[in-house]
Amino acid sequence: MEDFKSAALQPKKTSGFIKFIRWFAFITIVVFAFIFWWQFYYVFGEGVKSGELNYVVKKGNIFKTYEGKLIQSGFRAQTIGGIQSYEFEFSVTNDSIANILMNNSGNYFDLHYKEYKGSLPWRGFSPFIVDKIIMMKAIVR
């Protein structure tokens, strides 16, 4: 009876292969978590874009996100003396910023944005996420 009790109290030994599989699975999960964070949550760059706000809309099948377009002008065109416009497509995650932009379409904006390497469905279609309005002014025509 003594041998049975002492054997039951001692921890079970696991084989070397099982330990290897556990460590391999743990390291694989950590590496994939880091790659996912690097691709979708690491801020790759940030900056400011200026131009006339073309539109901001809320759209999506499952995840409703705010998508917009800012028209920048003044870049050199392919022809001499021509002016070419450049469109900056972005997403907005903050409802209050999106409402301000939707109510002031056609005005001139300076928008601060963060750039990610990839986009997530619940964050928007664009890797450029506008997080701040720096300046807004009406365009007089």
* pLDDT tens-digit readout, 90-118: 999 999 999 999 999 889 999 999 999 99
**Interval 41-79: pLDDT, tens:** 999 999 999 999 999 999 989 999 999 999 987 655 566
| Phi, psi (deg, nearest 5) at residue 35 | -65, -40
Residue entry with tokens 């939707």: 102
Domains of the chain by range and CATH? 43-137 (2.40.50.140)
Entry pTM: 0.74
Residues β-bridged to residue 112: 48, 132
